[in-house]
């Protein structure tokens, strides 16, 4: 190791603080979305569009950082990225009544800066030690909701802007540390000479914006029945095709730096990770009516599982079976969550009259399933990283590609979550509330049971109260079935993915052996 590659403790702390600010912002700030949506009168598709805008911009920042090469030295690019991250977070935390497009744009600015930091900050740690920070992409996204929940909870009475201001403080602190530890302060004045505008990314930005619009407003506007959605689809196709055609040679070619199995596993792991962190904001906020701290406790088992995955990876540094094992653990966790959700007695109509009854499984019931989800996601992503080539240059580019794929999977998962909440609830509510010849009898029977129970307890208007309870029962059942179906789909998808990784010719070796073992 050269002297220039040997980082001081101060420089190491600066790099870790920079990456912590990005990963916490990337994975954690949805914990305050319940309060934000209630304050602004938004539905989930509108509120969570801010997170999708952020994640898609992180992908853009990653691609720009990877393609810029030596034109952007790590110090200047890291400083610029942290500045953009801090600026975007500050706008979201102070402009509380700003229109949604402005808030989404500020999230995009923050995301682009965050992507640049994820690319360039590890190089400040020393070229020979940059790979030692790979754990950050697994652990920090899982513990981020807990940290953001603590910050939000202690900022007044769970004021939602506290999370964005917390992210601003993290980014500003990281910026100060990097500037103090990286180079003399006056070097920042040369920033404009080292960073060039990425003209080739303009069509890709347009494609990302169109995809963002389709993900969050496609269902609300009727998909292809809407002229806006049709134009968005066209813009997405043209922008994506043009960007691929003019993309610089500096971008990693996944066919050379990572096998297809690794790309698929990383995409699925990122999708699963971000989906099952964000869905608890809806599950614990709208469904169970938890506060921000209790909602964070629903995410905590994923944190523990991800930490366990890192520990296991340390004990087995050369094992190549992590991808398959991780997918199977995801399937086990999802299957167990499906079973416990379906077994929950939401269908017992008299339970809903009781004061201490909960309409859905709580933290204790979901702890083990979600621990297995976190463990499986962590193992799967470690397995994907171990499939990259042994050559140092190709290995670095392969890990870069997997990070892009992981974040892209997370962005897609937020749109899928909103679609499942809007369309899935409509389908399930219609199913349980249908007044057909089967449901009508059940509704009359259940309403009569509640009416008699309320009359015996002294209710003055038992008929009206029974109708209200029956309506709540239909909503509870619909919500439980939505999440039960989600768990079931994830379990089936994880098993299918594991089977594909084994049976496709040429993939079995990649999934069961790391590259250094194959060589």
What is the chain's alpha carbon radius of gyration, rounded to the nearest angstrom?
A: 24
Q: Is residue 300 a contact partner of residue 364, using CB atoms and an 8 Å limit?
A: no
Specify the pLDDT at position 504: 66
Helix (H, G, I), strand (E, B) or coil at 128: coil
Specify the pLDDT at position 173: 94
Specify the pLDDT at position 433: 66
What are the angstrom distances between the C-alpha of 129 and each of 2, 70, 124, 231? 11, 19, 9, 46
Residue 83, token pair as written in the block: 């500045």
Burial class of residue 224 in the structure, from the number of CB atoms within 10 Å of its CB (0-12 exposed, 13-18 middle, 19+ buried): exposed
Specify the pLDDT at position 99: 94
Q: For each successive 10 residues of the chain (519 residues), what is the average pLDDT?
A: 55 85 84 84 89 94 77 79 95 91 95 91 67 64 78 73 90 91 49 57 90 91 88 92 73 70 90 86 75 82 87 80 92 95 80 71 90 93 82 71 89 89 75 62 79 81 81 80 92 93 61 50
DSSP secondary structure code for residue 389 in this structure: -
Q: Is residue 12 a contact partner of residue 125, using CB atoms and an 8 Å limit?
A: yes
Residue 386, token pair as written in the block: 């171990």
How far is it, in rounded angstroms, from Cα 57 to Cα 406? Answer: 13
List of residues 6+ apart from 55 with CB closer than 8 A:
26, 111, 274, 407, 408, 410, 411, 414
- How many Cα atoms sit within 13 Å of 417 on the Cβ side? 29
How far is it, in rounded angstroms, from Cα 192 to Cα 120? Answer: 16
Query: SS3 breakdown of the chain: % helix, strand, coil, rounded to 5?
Result: 80, 0, 20
Specify the pLDDT at position 355: 62
What are the angstrom distances between the C-alpha of 238 and each of 67, 175, 231, 232, 330? 21, 37, 11, 10, 36
Q: Is residue 400 a contact partner of residue 256, using CB atoms and an 8 Å limit?
A: no
Picking from 52, 63, 2, the residue whose alpha carbon sits closest to that of residue 29 is 52
How far is it, in rounded angstroms, from Cα 398 to Cα 255? Answer: 10
Picking from 329, 208, 323, the residue whose alpha carbon sits closest to that of residue 266 is 323
How far is it, in rounded angstroms, from Cα 293 to Cα 315? Answer: 33
Picking from 413, 408, 336, 415, the residue whose alpha carbon sits closest to that of residue 375 is 336
How far is it, in rounded angstroms, from Cα 320 to Cα 338? Answer: 29
Angle of helix 136-153 relative to helix 9-28, nearest 10 degrees?
70
Backbone angles phi, psi at 343, to 5 degrees: -80, -10
Quickly list DSSP for 3-33: GGG---HHHHHHHHHHHHHHHHHHHHGGGGH
Sign for the pseudo-dihedral over CA of 384, 387, 388, 392: positive
Q: Is residue 341 a contact partner of residue 484, using CB atoms and an 8 Å limit?
A: yes
How far is it, in rounded angstroms, from Cα 376 to Cα 24? Answer: 21
Phi-psi map region of 156: left, alpha, beta (phi>0 left; psi -120 to 50 alpha): left
For 25, other C-beta atoms within 10 Å of its C-beta total 30
Specify the pLDDT at position 427: 74
Q: Is residue 429 a contact partner of residue 475, using CB atoms and an 8 Å limit?
A: yes
- Structure pTM? 0.86
How far is it, in rounded angstroms, from Cα 518 to Cα 261? Answer: 15
Specify the pLDDT at position 328: 96
């Amino acid at each position: 190791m050269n002297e220039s590659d040997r980082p001081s403790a101060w420089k190491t702390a600066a790099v870790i603080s920079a990456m912590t600010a990005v990963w916490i912002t990337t994975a954690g700030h949805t914990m305050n979305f319940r309060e934000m949506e209630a304050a602004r009168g938004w539905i989930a598709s509108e509120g969570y569009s801010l997170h999708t805008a952020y994640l898609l911009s992180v992908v853009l920042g990653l691609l720009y950082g990877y393609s810029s090469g030596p034109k952007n030295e790590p110090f200047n690019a890291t400083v610029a990225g942290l500045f953009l991250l801090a600026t975007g977070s500050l706008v979201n935390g102070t402009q509380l009544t700003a229109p949604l497009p402005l808030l989404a744009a500020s999230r995009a600015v923050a995301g682009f800066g965050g992507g640049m930091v994820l690319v360039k900050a590890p190089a400040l740690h020393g070229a020979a030690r940059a790979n030692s920070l790979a754990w950050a992409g697994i652990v920090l996204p899982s513990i981020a909701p807990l940290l953001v929940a603590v910050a939000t909870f202690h900022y007044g009475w769970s004021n939602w802007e506290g999370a964005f201001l917390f992210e601003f403080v993290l980014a500003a602190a990281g910026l100060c540390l990097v500037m103090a530890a990286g180079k003399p302060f006056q070097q920042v004045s040369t920033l404009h000479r080292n960073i060039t505008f990425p003209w080739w990314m303009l069509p890709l930005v347009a494609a990302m914006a169109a995809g963002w619009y389709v993900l969050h407003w496609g269902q609300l506007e009727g998909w292809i029945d809407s002229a806006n959605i049709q134009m968005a689809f066209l813009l997405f196709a043209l922008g994506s095709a043009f960007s691929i055609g003019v993309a610089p040679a500096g971008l990693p070619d996944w066919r050379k730096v990572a096998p297809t199995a690794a790309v698929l596993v990383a995409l699925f792991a990122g999708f699963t990770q971000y989906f099952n962190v964000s869905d608890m904001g809806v599950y614990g906020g709208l469904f169970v009516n938890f506060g921000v701290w209790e909602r964070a406790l629903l995410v905590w088992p994923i944190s523990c599982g991800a930490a366990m995955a890192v520990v296991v990876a340390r004990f087995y540094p050369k094992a190549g079976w992590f991808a398959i094992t991780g997918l199977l653990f995801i399937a086990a966790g999802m299957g167990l969550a499906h079973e416990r959700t379906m077994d929950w007695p939401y269908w017992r109509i008299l339970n809903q009259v009781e004061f201490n009854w909960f309409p859905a499984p709580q933290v204790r019931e979901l702890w083990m399933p979600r621990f297995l989800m976190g463990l499986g996601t962590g193992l799967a992503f470690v397995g994907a990283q171990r499939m990259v080539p042994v050559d140092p240059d190709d290995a670095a580019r392969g890990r870069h590609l997997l990070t892009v794929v992981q974040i892209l999977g997370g962005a897609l998962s937020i749109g899928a979550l909103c679609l499942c909440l809007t369309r899935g609830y409509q389908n399930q509510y219609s199913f349980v509330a249908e007044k057909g010849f089967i449901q009508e009898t059940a509704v009359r029977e259940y309403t009569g049971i509640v009416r008699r129970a309320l009359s015996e307890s002294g209710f003055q208007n038992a008929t009206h109260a029974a109708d209200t309870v029956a309506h709540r029962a239909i909503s509870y059942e619909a919500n439980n079935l939505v999440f039960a179906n989600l768990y079931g789909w994830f379990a089936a998808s994880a098993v299918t993915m594991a089977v594909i990784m084994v049976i496709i010719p040429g993939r079995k070796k990649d999934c069961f052996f790391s590259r250094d073992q194959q060589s």
